[in-house]
Structure formats: C-alpha cells, structure tokens
Structure 1
Amino acid sequence: MTMHLKRLTNIISSISGKSSILDSHSSLRQKSILSFTTRHDFSTSSADTTRHIASDVEERGDREYLKCHKGGGMFHKSASIDPTASIDFGAVVHSGSFVGGNVHVGSGTVVGPNVTIGQSTKIGYNVALANCTIGDSCVIHHGVCIGQDGFGFFMDENGAVVKKPQALKAHIGNNVEIGANSCIDRGSWRDTAIGDHSKIDNLVQIGHNVVIGKCCMLCGQVGIAGSVTMGDYVTLGGRVGVRDHVTIVSKVRLAAASCVTKDITKPGDYGGFPAVPIREWRRQVASRSQTLK
C-alpha cells in the first residue's frame, strides 16, 4: 500500500512539472510574438513603406531625380515634363530632355539626355531613346531602340578595325508608328530622318544617315543599310534589303524578299534580286520555271 502511494505521488509530481514547463514555453512564445509584432508593424501598408523610403531619400537631399506624379516614373530635375505627361513606374527620363503634353512613357523605357518627345506620343515598354527627336502623335512599340550608334568601321594602317565617329542624331516625324524591336541608328555625316506618317513594322533595321520620306511603309524584317535616301510613298515588302548609298525615288513598291543594289530612278513596282521592274522579274521567274521543267 505504501509503495502504491509513493508511485502515485511521483506521477502527480511529474505531471505538475510538465505542466510548468508547458506554461513556461507558452509564455516564452507569447513574448516572442509580441516582440516580433512590435518590431514589425503590419498595419503599415506597402504604399506607406514606399512613402517612408521616398521620405528618407528626400531627407538625405538626394533630389537629382524626381518622381513623376502621373505613373510614378523618375525624371531628372533639368528635364522638362509637361504636367499632362505620364511616366510609368520603372521608366526614367534623363537630363535636358523634353516630354510634351499627353505623352505616355511605358515601364522600363529609358529616355536619354536631351531627347525631345512631341505631344500625344505613346511609347511602349523597354524602349531606348537617345540622340533623337520624336514628333507629335507617334506610336513607338515595345523594345524599340532609336539613336544608338550606327555600324561604321574602317581598317587603319596597322590593320586594326577602328570605329567611325557616330555623333549626329535621328529625327522621327509626326504621326510615325514604329513596330516592336525595330532599330533606327543615329547619323554620322547627316542626321537619320523618318518622314511624317511613315509606318514601320516589327524587327526593321534602319542604318545611320538614312533619310526616308513621308507616308512610307516598311514591312517586317526590312533592312536598310547606311546612307540610303528614299522618297515619299515608298513601300518595302517583308524582308526587303537595300544596300548602302542607294537612292529610291517616290512611289516605288518593292516585292517581298527583293534586294535593291542600285538606284531606282522611276516610280513603279519592282522585285527580285537584284530588284528590277516587276514585269521583267516575272518574266525571269517564268523563264526559270520553264528551264527547270
């Protein structure tokens, strides 16, 4: 009997000890949670946190770039931004640039120093603009690059490949549309220029010093080498190639995959490699077909 009483006493003591340990753990856990929530105030929203960070930046005097009130993007304090312009979060406008009324600049876009963007122009995501002017009411789609150096090199007396200076600009007229991932190089001996109301498809390459007239249409994957001059109302079908220093008069249309190797001096339709008047090209194709039979 005495042995049973001792065993019962030991069990009760053991249970009491475990209970005190659990109470201790519970108390410690509550204190930890209280400490964590005190240090991390979850009642503050992410927007408030962003404002606090911006406030800290202002307090440090870091005011070289300012936040656009429409869109949340950044612009240099020396840039001129119309109050109606919108610069999306993640976009940046650098020093000396001008952004006109009702312009929209998409996220990820970089507007370099001293770039001019005319009113009502819409710029997509991840566009790079440098050394250029953009006219009014243009549409520039995602990934377009305008104003970068052209492809100009020469071989010096030591056999080294040396870069030619590319110091001029690219000018885009009014009501121009430029498709995604197209590239327009700035000039080296004259400014690159795209005329009013011209339309450029995706993945088009326009080399340095190229001058394109008004109301031209360039379809996808067109490649125009440097120093080409094109008149007005010229249409280039998909994958047309134009060699450097060629002149194409106004009102010329080129069939897809044609290649211009010399000046085109008369309006009309052309095709083939090298490009010839369309009827001649068709005769060539028909003759070749007969020969292969």
Structure 2
Amino acid sequence: MKILLSVMIVCLLFFSMAIEIDAQALELQNEAFQRAMIAFGIAKSLNAVISLIQGTELSLTPAGLGITLSVGEILDPLNDMVERFSWVMLLATISLGIQKFLLILSGKTLLQVLLSLSGIIALAMIWYRKLHHNLFFSYSLKVFALLVLLRFGAIAFVGISQITYTAILQNEYEQSLQVVEETKTNLEEFQQARNIDVQQQQGSFFSELKKRYDKSIESLNISQQIASLAKSTNQAFNNIVVLITIFVLQSIILPLVYIWLVVHGIKYVFRSELKFDTFKNMYNERY
C-alpha cells in the first residue's frame, strides 16, 4: 500500500513539473477564445450592417398601385437576436478570459513548488510508521489533494471542454458560423446595390427614375428579392440560436459544472478522515 500511494504521488509530481501540459492546455484555451472572438466580431459587424439598411424601402407598383415595403420589418427579428447574441458572446469571452487566467495561475512556479513540498511531506508521512495515526498525516494528505486540484483542475477542464467541442459541437459551430457570415455578405451586397441606385439617380432624379424603372421592371422581381432576403435572415436567425446554445454550453454551463465539482471535491477532502489505515482497508477490500 505504501508503494502504491508513493507511486501515485511521484507521478502527480512528475506531471506537475511537465511544461508541455501547460503549453498544450493554453493553446487549446487560446483556440476556444479565438473562436469566441470570431463569432463576436461577426455578430457586431452583422448588427452594424442591419442598422445601415433598416431604413431602406423597396417600392412595388402592381397594377399601378404603389406599395412601399420596409426592409427593417424583415430584419427586426434578426437584429434583436443578433443583439442578444452579442451579449452572450461578451459573457462567453469574459468567461474564457477568466478560464485562461486560472490556467496561467495553475502553471505558476509558486504553486508547483508548494505542490512539490506537500508531496515530499506526504511521502515522508507515508513511510514514517509512527505518524500513520497522527493528525498531521491527515492534514498533509488533504493539503496535497487540494494543491493537486488547483494544479490540474483547470488543465483537466480545458481538455474535457476541447473533447466536447471536437466530438459534438465543432460541425455545428462551423456550419452555423458560415451561414451567419454568408447572411452578412448578402446584406452588404444588398446595401451596396441600393447605394449605387441612389447615386445614379441623384443627377436627374425625376426624369431618370421612370426610365430606370421601365428598364429594370422586367429583369428585377422585387417580390423574389424580398423572399430571398426573408429566407436568408430566417436561416441566420436559426443558426444564431445554435451558436448561442454552443457558447452557453461551453463557456457558461461547463465552467459552472467544473466549479461545482472543484468546490465539492474540496469539501469532500477536508471532511474525510484521511488515515493510513483507511487507505489500507480500501486496498484490502478492493483486492
């Protein structure tokens, strides 16, 4: 039993000193942060484009009757959802920033030194028979367990979060982000086309308007344009909901679960009565 506990402590100390695990975890966290910033940037730019073209009006004159359709009426639901998405992404980036800070903190030299000292003391307590029933033996193991949680907790969380993203969320994220970005591009093209029309009409507005209308009425179907715009915004709306779900899960719910596990893990360690006989009995019952 002494050998088993000693090997476990030595392995934990060895992995604690490995710089590679900190670098890999930090790289994964940077990737997650970058994904959030990309989505946040697209959301803000989409909101800006919608704000520019919300006042645009499309005129339709079927059977000589003038009908004016406001683009803002079509884009209002999407604009509201984009604003909510922006707030979610702001919270997500803040959460990821805090996670990155905790990850950097877990790799600090001071924590590694404290963990190493605690591990050495725990090894001494294990091999010094007279201290097996001593209160100091119990607290040395508790402190070591606490430092292990602080050292590896953030690293383990980043790894689990990345596995969850790769296995479940990645395809949904990439497809949804692509649809939202395409919608932004379509709206930008729509706005540019409307600006060109306005500039061409400025020279002789009343005389040229009738000519342009007569020339383009056969080639431009405004009803189809409105339908296409509505379809594009509906697709973007649905995919923004998917993105919100992804980032709420990865950046809010999973961190809360991680914090809950760490808190309850600490409570369990300090409430438990850690004695050498306890480990010995557990080992005997198992084997």
TM normalised by structure 1 equals 0.20
Structure that is richer in helix per residue: 2
Decide which structure has the larger Cα Rg and report it: 1
TM-score (norm. length: structure 2): 0.20
